[in-house]
Amino acid sequence: MRIALLGYGKMGKIIESIAISRGHQIVARIDKDNAADLQTLTNEQVDVAIEFSMPAVAFDNLSTCIKNGIPVLSGTTGWLDKMTDVENLVKEKNGTFFYASNYSIGVNLFFKINDFVAKLMNPQQDYKIDMEEIHHTEKLDAPSGTAITLAEGVINHTERKEKWVNNSSEKTDELSIISLREPEVPGTHSVHYRSEVDTIEIKHTAHSRQGFALGAVLVAEWLPAQKGMKNMDDFLKL
């Protein structure tokens, strides 16, 4: 399979290594130094594009791929206010786009566990709910996309929570997310239910970026046969 990498930082390089080990060919490596080269890529040259770039350029990268008929998956966070525009473009061009805030298989199973626990805890008014996420110091956006997905799961299943905030909050309708940045931390996410008598915690700790990268390559192998907007629920048949 012919893969274009959009974004060639640490994640892009790990994805490259895994893709090559699985017999795939990297036909383009697009980064800030050669960003204009993306405009020349077509679906005759590229089977799928994997986009892990920066929030400021993600939307333009994705739009170009969709317009050029290249199936594309993205793991970049911090641009989701333009998701509706991407959806409209996918419909207009009969394109293929896949988004996940996290491509780790374990994290996506964790999302489902989070939903289930939130449903169970919804009637338990004595428990206060908060979240914490820890990432490496190079991560520019906060909270992480994974934390936002977890927060949305809690809010969707907890009647007293209406929105998340990226700070400590004592307001009943706000879900507090504390974002910490530490050297060499791939990603840790935890959701806490605290009462006067006990605390219930669910937690996912990534030991390396390998799980994220492998998940992205597995999705890339699956994606070219698909059409429309896709996500991890579609891929994992959850």
Ordered by where they begin, the domains of the chain are 2-103+210-236 (3.40.50.720), 105-205 (3.30.360.10)
238: pLDDT strictly greater than 80? no
141: pLDDT strictly greater than 90? no
Q: What is the pLDDT of residue 185?
A: 86
**Environment class of 236 (CB within 10 Å of its CB; exposed 0-12, middle 13-18, buried 19+):** middle
Cα separation, 12 vs 218, in Å, equals: 14
**Environment class of 8 (CB within 10 Å of its CB; exposed 0-12, middle 13-18, buried 19+):** buried
Banded pLDDT at 50 (limits 50, 70, 90): very high
**Could you tell me the pTM of the whole model?**
0.79
Cα separation, 28 vs 49, in Å, equals: 9
Which residues contact residue 233 at a Cβ distance below 8 angstroms, ignoring those fewer than 6 apart? Answer: none
209: pLDDT strictly greater than 90? no
Q: What is the pLDDT of residue 67?
A: 97
Q: What is the pLDDT of residue 235?
A: 95
* Known active-site residue 135: yes
- Please state, as a whole number, how many other Cβ atoms lie within 10 Å of the Cβ of residue 105: 16
Coil, helix or strand for 18? Answer: helix
Cα separation, 212 vs 9, in Å, equals: 14
187: pLDDT strictly greater than 80? yes
Which residues contact residue 22 at a Cβ distance below 8 angstroms, ignoring those fewer than 6 apart? Answer: 217, 221
Q: What is the pLDDT of residue 208?
A: 85
Q: What is the pLDDT of residue 85?
A: 97
Sign of CA dihedral 206, 217, 11, 32: negative
* Known active-site residue 204: no
Tokens 């040259």 identify what position? 45
Q: Return the closest-CA partner of residue 98 out of 82, 87, 109.
A: 87
200: pLDDT strictly greater than 90? yes
Q: What is the mean pLDDT of residues 42-53?
A: 96
* 131 contacts 150 by C-beta, under 8 angstroms: yes
Q: What is the pLDDT of residue 22?
A: 97
Task: Take residue 227 and report the two structure tokens written for it.
Answer: 């059409």
Q: What is the mean pLDDT of residues 190-201?
A: 98
Catalytic residue among 13, 93, 136, 139: 139
Per-residue pLDDT tens digits for 99-130: 998 899 999 999 999 999 999 999 999 999 99
52: pLDDT strictly greater than 90? yes
Tokens 């449903």 identify what position? 119
Per-residue pLDDT tens digits for 158-183: 999 999 999 999 999 999 999 999 99
Rg (Cα) of the chain, in Å, rounded?
19
Catalytic residue among 135, 161, 189, 204: 135
> What percent of the chain lies above the pLDDT cut of 90?
87
78: pLDDT strictly greater than 90? no
Tokens 């994805």 identify what position? 15
